[in-house]
Amino acid sequence: MLRLFTLAAFAIAMAASLPLRAQTDSLTPLQDALQTVQSSVASPSRATVPAVLRALLDADAPGTVDFLRAWGDREVYERPEDGLFFYATDAANRMLALIDIDTGTEIATVSTREVNQIRPNAGVRREIGAALVSFELLHPDADRRLAALENIARSPDADQIEALTAARVAEEDSRIAARMDRLLDLLNARFATDPAVRVDAIEGLRGDISTEARRVLNQILQTRAEFAPEIPEGTNVARIREPGVDIDLTAAYGTLSEAGLAPARPGRNTIRDALRTNVVDGAVGGIPVHQLNTDEMRRAAYAALQAEGVVAPLVTEADMRAAVSEVVFYDAYLEPDRAVTDAARDALDSTRTRISLWQFVSISLDALSLASIFFLAAIGLAITFGVMRVINMAHGEFIMMGAYTGYVVQTVIPNYTTSLIVALPLAFAVTFAAGVAMERLVIRHLYTRPLETLLATFGISIALQQLAKNIFGTQARPLTAPDWLAGAIQVNDVVSVASIRVAIFVMAIGFLLMLLYILNRTRLGLEVRAVTQNPGMAASMGINPDRINMLTFGLGSGIAGVAGVSIGLVAQVTSEMGANYIVQSFMTVVVGGVGSVFGTLAGATLIGFLQKGIEWFNPANTLAAQTFMVLFIILFIQFRPKGIVALKGRAAGD
């Protein structure tokens, strides 16, 4: 209590003195205050530190906090000739420049032999640190108080409970007070001497999914492996381990052997060395050496030597079971109080339940992120495939062209934000033009021959890949996101979402709204829907289906280019990157419903959640997850061949 009072009073006085120092010039110099306890400062010990703190508290000298920090960091020097204290900085020729602790001015240059560096031991430094923590926790600046709390959280110690308790009484900021209460629960749960206080603090951590709370609970529930003929009275047993079930029989016997409670079990190397040592006339125990080529024969030879009393006896499985049956193997908590461990175990079970719920949220967010990427990759294909019924195997290469466009823009415009703003419309323009050219030169001549269209676009995709390799090489090219898209949005210690994935999700929503507006609110959208439902009737109403097909193919290709820029921010930009998304794009379109924007959204969502769900059951094998996903989609199409959202009109008829 005396120590608590001293630290709290010291901190309160230091905090209260801050505004006063600006109003008075009559404060006691720090050097004079230190001279009253000169020997305790020069040769500190844990027993004398409280006296120094009380002297500094009474003096209330400016610069006291800075001196305590320097003292604890071993940056204070004593000049033996007059006993004065100084700070010091390195000077030329291995000399020290002495700094006055009151004025901060350099007063002399001396050698290291002319001064004594004060080196407080670990115990003294802890006392000084506790005093500084008390001061920081009561500092008028809220940011300083929060920083002190985070320092406590990073390096918790039993000595911090007193200072934190005193600071909590004086804290008026509700946000900081809540943080203090939580830290007090963490510290009391681990370090409090009263079991009732510990149990109450542990109850406060129930359901807390933070890493620091789980760390404290796991530390309380730490165990050690023990064995004994009978469990000692008063032992806080975590569990009893049955040999052969909870612990390997050989390992259990080895534990007894190491403790000298059972004979050592000869291993294969021991048996081999014993046989080599006892070779007589080309045989061991009557068995010729050339027959000792199996474990069975070597053990038979060893048994013969055992019968002669030459070697130590073999230990059979029955011997091991008999030996381990004489003792009890158990795990004992390091914490002796059962009430504390019971409370910690219940709290950790509650926490694990909440962690499971948050992990489900995390997987769902990952699935949404993956679905948004699939949607961006597939929406252009949904438009062209739905309107024109063209199986465009080069769709992935339009994604690749968009990504390389973003890379080229970044090499010209080093500012990542500006380059991204320029790259998005430029990628649309480049791939729109490429799509229109491809439609005019190849696709328009193959409208009634889908197999030949597939082969032609597949050949174009190979040609575009090779062209990209010739221009950019085979190495992956960087497409860097701006700094404001770096990092992640941390929801809690379980759930975090990369900022770039949030941006891609927002972009996917933007594309969805834009396409809905184009298809439902513009003349182009009206003509596209007319051609989709009945091209003959649309032509009779003055709509040119050929022109609509060209613009539609260009629009789908342009959207793929913009998707390439977005995907390039999270994936490697290579000539083969489009091939990684063409299969998922076709699956998304077919499952969702050919030609439907909402169908593509539904298909991307279904595939994204399905893939992440399968990966959750088997996280180490993503290839298996993709295989099971394809099998599921095959079964899904068997029951709903037109997809989740089926179109009416030409697509439905086809």
Tell whether the model's pLDDT for residue 385 goes beyond 80: no
Tell whether the model's pLDDT for residue 649 goes beyond 60: no
Tell whether the model's pLDDT for residue 47 goes beyond 60: yes
Tell whether the model's pLDDT for residue 48 goes beyond 90: no
Which stretch, 193-202, 205-214, 380-389, has highest mean pLDDT? 193-202
What is the average pLDDT across 589-597?
A: 78
Assess contact for 591 and 582: CB atoms under 8 A. no
Tell whether the model's pLDDT for residue 349 goes beyond 70: yes
Specify the pLDDT at position 25: 42
Assess contact for 118 and 74: CB atoms under 8 A. yes
Which pLDDT band holds residue 462 (cuts at 50, 70, 90)?
A: very high
Assess contact for 131 and 67: CB atoms under 8 A. no
pLDDT, tens digit, for every residue of 538-551?
A: 888 888 888 888 88
Specify the pLDDT at position 376: 85
411 three-state secondary structure = helix
- Distance, in Å, from the CA atom of 442 to the CA atom of 453, rounded to the nearest integer, reads 8
- The fraction of the chain above a pLDDT of 70, given in percent, is 92
Which pLDDT band holds residue 651 (cuts at 50, 70, 90)?
A: very low
Ramachandran angles phi, psi of 482, nearest 5°:
-60, 160
Specify the pLDDT at position 342: 92
What is the average pLDDT across 14-39?
A: 62
Tell whether the model's pLDDT for residue 134 goes beyond 80: no
For residue 309, is it left (φ>0), alpha (ψ between -120 and 50) or beta? left
| Strand ranges, E, within 39-80 | 76-79
H helices then E strands: how many in the chain?
Answer: 27, 12
Which pLDDT band holds residue 622 (cuts at 50, 70, 90)?
A: low
Tell whether the model's pLDDT for residue 257 goes beyond 60: yes
Which stretch, 79-93, 166-180, 326-340, 595-609, has highest mean pLDDT? 326-340
Tell whether the model's pLDDT for residue 23 goes beyond 50: no
Radius of gyration of the CA atoms of the chain, in A: 38
Structure tokens at 287: 């068995």
- Distance, in Å, from the CA atom of 56 to the CA atom of 36, rounded to the nearest integer, reads 10
When the pLDDT of each residue in the chain is averaged and rounded to a whole number, the result is 83
Tell whether the model's pLDDT for residue 650 goes beyond 70: no
- Distance, in Å, from the CA atom of 396 to the CA atom of 577, rounded to the nearest integer, reads 7
Specify the pLDDT at position 27: 53
Strands laid side by side in the 237-241 sheet: 223-228, 328-333, 237-241
Specify the pLDDT at position 5: 43
Specify the pLDDT at position 387: 63
Q: How far is CA 390 from the centre of its chain?
A: 43
Which pLDDT band holds residue 428 (cuts at 50, 70, 90)?
A: very high
Which stretch, 258-262, 434-438, 477-481, has highest mean pLDDT? 434-438
89 three-state secondary structure = strand
What is the average pLDDT across 142-159?
A: 82
Between residues 11 and 83, the one the model is more confident about: 83
Residue 191: count of CB within 10 angstroms of its CB: 17
Tell whether the model's pLDDT for residue 225 goes beyond 60: yes
Which pLDDT band holds residue 386 (cuts at 50, 70, 90)?
A: low
Nearest to 364 by CA among 491, 209, 516, 213: 491
Whole-model pTM: value is: 0.67
Q: Which residues, listed in sequence order, are joined to residue 328 by a DSSP beta bridge?
A: 228
- Distance, in Å, from the CA atom of 331 to the CA atom of 226, rounded to the nearest integer, reads 6
Nearest to 494 by CA among 220, 207, 218: 207
- Distance, in Å, from the CA atom of 182 to the CA atom of 209, rounded to the nearest integer, reads 13
Between residues 123 and 8, the one the model is more confident about: 123
Specify the pLDDT at position 595: 65
Structure tokens at 459: 């050949």
